[in-house]
């Protein structure tokens, strides 16, 4: 590697680091065991990933309760909830909001699936799904399909809320045929 090529690579890495982007995103890869977690639900109960062994899990991370994109994404998952249940899948939403905020969000928006509070962002970090916004650490909009054995089956990065539930259902159907 020439001196100039090295300097160019170094400059690119430095720019990415200053913008909060790492050279590796830290997300668990397809085929690996999904990172375990124990979080508080919108119902005030503790749940762990192990509680859903034998089921497909759609673990979606989102930035903030009561915001337009997050509300749209949640509504679409709610709209399709019967389809997920028919596919032996559960929906779990994760953000850094409190369990109380999640409770209020579910009540206001009519959501009947679990939202999990990751107030210290540790689980979001484990899944490579954190971002900074106005100095606050939030969950980044990524989704993971976890198979019934607890392994990552599919990863969706930087999802668009509008058609995401349809995209996840299609991937889930494809995975279940394999």
Active site residues: 70
What is the distance between the alpha carbons of residues 143 and 154, in angstroms, rounded to a whole number? 8
Triad 161, 163, 165: Cα angle to 5°: 85
Total Cβ atoms within 10 A of residue 144: 25
What is the distance between the alpha carbons of residues 94 and 118, in angstroms, rounded to a whole number? 7
Ramachandran angles phi, psi of 24, nearest 5°: -120, 140
What is the distance between the alpha carbons of residues 52 and 122, in angstroms, rounded to a whole number? 20
Residue the block writes with tokens 């160019």: 8
């Amino acid at each position: 590697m020439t001196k100039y090529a090295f300097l160019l690579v170094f400059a690119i890495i430095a720019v990415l680091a200053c913008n909060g982007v790492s050279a590796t995103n830290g997300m668990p890869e397809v085929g690996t065991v999904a990172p375990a977690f124990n979080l508080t639900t919108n119902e005030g109960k503790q749940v762990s990933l192990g509680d859903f062994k034998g089921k497909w899990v759609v673990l979606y991370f989102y930035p903030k309760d009561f915001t337009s994109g997050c509300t749209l994404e949640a509504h679409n998952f709610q709209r399709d909830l019967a389809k997920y249940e028919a596919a032996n899948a559960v929906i779990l939403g994760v953000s850094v909001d409190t369990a109380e905020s999640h409770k209020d969000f579910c009540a206001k928006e009519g959501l009947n699936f679990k939202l999990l509070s990751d107030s210290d962002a540790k689980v979001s970090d484990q899944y490579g799904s954190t971002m900074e916004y106005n100095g606050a650490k939030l969950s980044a909009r990524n989704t993971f399909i976890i198979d019934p054995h607890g392994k990552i089956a599919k990863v969706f990065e930087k999802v668009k809320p509008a058609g995401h539930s349809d995209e996840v259902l299609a991937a889930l159907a494809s995975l279940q045929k394999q």
